[in-house]
A and B are shown apart, each in its own frame.
Chain A
Amino acid sequence: MKYIDEYRDKAVVLQLIEQIRETSRHPIRIMEVCGGHTMAIQRFGIPSLLPETVELVSGPGCPVCVTSHAYIDQAIAYSRLPEVIITTYGDLIRVPGSTSTLDREKAKGADIRIVYSILDALEIAKHNRRKKVVFLGIGFETTSPATAAGIIKAEMAGLFNFLVFSAHKIMPPPMAALIDTGVNIQGYLGPGHVSTITGSKIYDFIAEDYGLSVVISGFEPTDILQSILMLVKQFERRQPAVEIQYSRVVKPEGNPKALAMLEEVFYLDKDWWRGLGVLNASGMKIKGKYAAFNAEKQVEVSVEPTREDKGCICGEVLKSTAKPAECKLFGKACTPSDPVGACMVSNEGACAAYYRYAR
């Protein structure tokens, strides 16, 4: 119990661990979907606190990690056009494409700007009317409503030089696909902030059709332990259900205004996920009525052929069929300062979190 002395709520933590030990009889593998949970779990050494029956594995919840090389390659192709300014969240800048990164293109002179918010990208479009400002839309339901809001704003302001290249994705399809592919898990630690937007109903089919538990969890060690306890209880009673542990923040109905904006701007289409391949109705594409703001419709580019990295098993890591340390490159050719695969780039990536915290 190496970190136990650091916990603020030591007594609560010890009590929760005790309860988990008492409750857990049968082996259970729990997958955390959200990269934020991966980080917290590794940081607080939670696996070492749990009984042998309870195993935690990481899943596909890091948006940068599941994004395809083809997407990065196309973003890079846009950035090489003289009339384009790329605006992007910082997360994406070092993610390797087939032969380059946005960072490298920027060093070579491409106009690539890191923004904190899509609202900053709109400002850039306002001040560069002769340029096409392409915003790279990545992320799950926490982030996509902001993109929808940005597109609606651009239309209201008549900012037709503002374009979005969307690789937004939704969380439930990979959760179902993982079970379909036979990955051995008995419950999901549900994503806290995605669920702030979506609410909890979107996971109901996981419990009803697949018979797996989902507990939407907060990020404190006590939150995570309590969620694990809830999952173990459900499992031992053979009563899979969707529960919200993080009820301080997550409401069953989610955020209706944000959901309405998503509905207004996006439709669901098939999309590619690292490790899982193409999944039906898992990606968010811009509806026809907003085609004027869709980079894919407005800007022609030729994109280099896709090449995946040799030796990177990031796809396996995202499915939990391999641990980061099982990758031959882990900690050697691939480190956070010189990443080979996407799972090492993002702070929330499983490889980066294990590298940093798991000793």
Chain B
Amino acid sequence: MSHKNNTMCLSIPARIEEINGEMARCSVGEASYQASLQMLDISELAVGDYVLLHTGFALQKISEEEAIETLKLFDEFEAFNATLDEEEKQTGERIV
């Protein structure tokens, strides 16, 4: 469950870095995304706010705390997946 993947099901917490009209540049860790703000009330958004980003659209404003917790969860998934892959390589068998 990597947030670098192109997976549609995922909503990622992103930080607004810059607002241009109804578009915003958002960051998720190192990565940068263009996001449409048209589903939210733009007057209530500011640089530094966090939003839930889904397929290029900000769906909901969320708290910084919520954003950080969710990102941690993604990283844990990734780390765990990596461990599984490593174990698999070493044992040479698929873990079912």
Contacts and interface: CB of A to CB of B under 8 A. Distances in A.
B6 to A, nearest CB: 3
Interface in B50-65: 52, 54-57, 59-60, 62-63
Interface residues of A, number: 46
Nearest to A119: B56
A116 B56 CA distance: 7
Interface size class of B (residues with CB under 8 A): 35 or more
B52 A196 contact: yes
A7 to B, nearest CB: 10
A149 B62 CA distance: 22
B89 interface: no
B1 interface: yes
Contact of A36 (B9, B36, B94): B9
B32 interface: no
A261 interface: yes
Interface string A86-99: 00011100000000
A43 B80 contact: yes
Interface in A23-52: 35-36, 39-40, 43
A143 interface: yes
Interface string B22-54: 000000000001101011110000000000101
Given A119-B56, A196-B52, A219-B73, A356 B84 contact: yes
A142 B63 contact: no
B62 A249 contact: yes
Contact of B36 (A63, A90, A149): A149
Nearest to A246: B66
A117 interface: yes
Contacts of B38: 149, 257
Nearest to B38: A149
Given A117-B57, A119-B34, A355 B9 contact: no
Contact of B62 (A35, A36, A248, A331): A248
A197 B36 CA distance: 15
A108 interface: no
B94 A116 contact: no
B5 to A, nearest CB: 7
Given A118-B56, A193-B54, A248-B62, A143 B8 contact: yes
B60 A249 contact: yes
A89 B59 CA distance: 18
A257 B39 contact: yes
Contact of B9 (A35, A115, A261): A35
B7 A258 contact: no
Contact of A335 (B69, B70, B94): B94
28 contacts: A35-B9, A36-B9, A89-B7, A89-B8, A90-B7, A91-B7, A91-B8, A116-B33, A119-B34, A119-B56, A120-B56, A142-B11, A143-B55, A149-B38, A193-B52, A193-B54, A196-B11, A196-B59, A219-B70, A220-B70, A220-B73, A248-B62, A248-B63, A249-B66, A255-B40, A257-B38, A257-B41, A347-B9
Interface of B: 1, 5-11, 33-34, 36, 38-41, 52, 54-57, 59-60, 62-63, 66, 69-70, 72-73, 76-77, 80-81, 84, 94-96
Interface of A: 6, 8, 35-36, 39-40, 43, 62-63, 89-91, 114-120, 138-139, 142-143, 145-146, 149, 193, 196-197, 219-220, 248-249, 255, 257-258, 261, 331, 335, 346-348, 355-356, 358-359
